[in-house]
Amino acid sequence: MPSTRRTTTVEFVRGSVRGTRRRALATLPSLFTLANMFCGFFAILVAIRGEYRLAAVLIGLSIVFDITDGAVARLVGAVTPFGLQFDSLADLVSFGLAPSLLAFTLFSQGRDEWDPLGWVACFVWLACAAIRLARFNTTVDPTADKRYFTGLPSPGAAGVVLASVFAFGDHLEGRDRLWVLLVVVVPALLMVSNIRFRSFRSLVSPKSGKPYAIIALAVVLVVGFALAPTVTGVALAYGYLLAPLLLPIVSPLAKLLPTRLKEVLS
């Protein structure tokens, strides 16, 4: 069909629409990353005001947005170097600065002899989170086993802090405040360790082809948080933290599971 001014204009408009749609889809994951950063920044502000539980909830929302932006990026095919770096900067705010400041404001009761310990412990957290994110960005190995992370992921470490706030945040006074330092230092050191932690990205990926596993997990979590939010949060956060120790113990029980269920969870 011969090209005319009308057909040329129509094709130009269609191409512009497609280009705009592609740019919009490419921007979508960054909006979730921005929401992640906003929640982390807001958590810092409310932690300074002493609203510890609200700060913990906001860090929890940051974890949700951090998981979502990766799933959305893979869904729309918008996994880019910019998105990777932007996500890491947002994670440093939400899972580096926010948890360390939340822990310090919970730990500190004014200027006393214990405060320097809090400064050191919270800086160790921030430094380990930054090292963890930088190492992840610079050692992306396409041949590595995608089912595992090397070192505790920063959202998982942050989950330990926010679960601890809900579990025993109101009782951390006097000498008991030293428990806050353990809650901070242990996950921090695990972030920069070489211990392997299970990655569940295959479950939350929209192209995983395993919807039943994520649906079942979502139902269990919703019911758990609705009926016993503190217990569920502690079990989830500390269970993941201790997973490298617990898995060798419970792995023999995996032989009792049906083959189909093991394939879904693998």
**Which of 155, 154, 158, 106 minimizes the C-alpha distance to 133?**
154
What is residue 10's predicted lDDT score, i.e. its pLDDT? 42
Over its C-alpha atoms, the chain yields an Rg (Å, rounded) of 22
Amino acid in position 152: L
What is residue 16's predicted lDDT score, i.e. its pLDDT? 44
What is residue 204's predicted lDDT score, i.e. its pLDDT? 55
What is residue 15's predicted lDDT score, i.e. its pLDDT? 47
What is residue 174's predicted lDDT score, i.e. its pLDDT? 55
Domain boundaries, the chain: 5-265
pTM here? 0.79
CB neighbour list of residue 192: distance below 8 Å, 6 or more residues apart: 128, 131, 132, 135, 151
What is residue 172's predicted lDDT score, i.e. its pLDDT? 59
Q: How far apart are CA 147 and CA 162, in angstroms?
A: 25
Torsion sign (Cα): 265, 219, 66, 41: negative
What is residue 2's predicted lDDT score, i.e. its pLDDT? 53
Query: Encoding tokens for residue 231?
Result: 């217990």
The architecture that CATH gives domain 5-265 is Up-down Bundle (1.20)
Rounded average pLDDT per 10-residue block, the chain, 266 residues? 51 46 72 94 94 93 90 78 88 95 83 81 95 85 67 92 84 65 91 86 56 71 85 90 79 60 52
**Which of 233, 125, 148 minimizes the C-alpha distance to 194?**
148
